[in-house]
Structure 1
């Protein structure tokens, strides 16, 4: 396998990973900021107050975007990885 093909495939794989993880990371960031502001305004310093809503929001977004994630991975493997393995 040529180095250019290898590095191009790795670059595209990393972009797929970024695209897949972006919805979860954005929701975790937004939820953390909202809960942090709520804790700062009310002076409530409870650890479960940050963990449970963030986990619930991430689980909901994961459930919603699961089809997009699976389709992205399947199309990457179908378009890039399998042709490299078969040698087409």
Structure 2
């Protein structure tokens, strides 16, 4: 296996990790922005107000997008890793 093949697998792995994390990070970003805006407007500075909704949203989005994340990971392994292993 050449260095080019190793770097190509690493690039694919990083891109797969980005694609798998996008739904969770996107929802967390939106919820954090909305809660921060509400806190700024109402002057409520409670730490649990930001923590609990984000955790709940992450858990819900994780279970809703679990199939998508599994599909992305399987596509990466089937198209990139397994052909290198089988030769």
**TM-score interval for Structure 1 and Structure 2 normalised by the shorter chain:** over 0.9
How many residues in Structure 1 have an aligned counterpart in Structure 2? 87
Counterpart position of 1:41: 41
C-alpha distance in 2, partners of 1:81/1:73? 11
1:42-65 Cα offsets, whole Å, 9 max, x none, are 111111000000111111111111
Residue 4 of structure 1 deviates from its aligned partner by 1.1
TM norm structure 1: 0.93
TM norm structure 2: 0.94
Superposed, 1:1-88 pairs within 5 Å as 1-87=1-87
Instruction: Could you tell me which runs of 5 or more consecutive residues in structure 2 were left unpaired when the two chains were aligned.
Output: none
Matched position secondary structure for 2:65: helix
C-alpha distance in 2, partners of 1:7/1:40? 45
Residue 86 of structure 1 deviates from its aligned partner by 2.0
